[in-house]
Amino acid sequence: MIKIKFATDVPDFKESNNTGLNRAPQTLRPLVSCILFILSCFIIPACASHKANTGSPIYYQSDKEQSPRSPATFVSDTVLMARIKSKLMSDDMVDNTGIHLKVRHGVVYLDGWVADTYQHRMARDLVRSIAGVARVVSRLQIANPGTVFINPDIR
């Protein structure tokens, strides 16, 4: 025959001289419930914070710039950003001082200012040539839109 122990079968601690053992679970109960409440305040809203699908189910594409990433995607995006930054720094034809990068799910977002149309095209093509880049979204502003090419040796 199997004997099942219930919570009422536990020996009573009132027999000992240490009265703190009786009160320990009762004093921790409000603390534990407070911690669980705080955690639920952060976890439950985060589960429902995604954007609603407002488009047609056939043509709807999620906004990859705002969508959450898995740890593996975050690491691959970080490695891709490091490769892009090293390539931009090592290239003498592109002035990368005003270019800011953001990589999400393999999509590279270029923000900032470049000197002319040539710099814009070179930065975009350089980033596009790196393995692992799914797409380039260029939001670069051109400081001198009429200038097509500036050769530093001619000045």
| Tens digit of each residue's pLDDT (9 = 90 or more) over 98-139 | 999 999 989 999 999 998 888 899 999 999 999 999 999 999
Reading across the β-sheet that carries 99-104, which strands appear in turn? 99-104, 107-114, 135-142
Q: How far apart are the first and last CA of the chain?
A: 99
Task: Determine phi and psi for 75, rounding to 5 degrees.
Answer: -65, -45
Quick: pLDDT tens for 20-50: 545 556 777 777 777 877 777 666 665 555 5
Residue 76, by phi and psi: left (phi above 0), alpha (psi -120 to 50) or beta?
Answer: alpha
- Predicted structure pTM score: 0.53
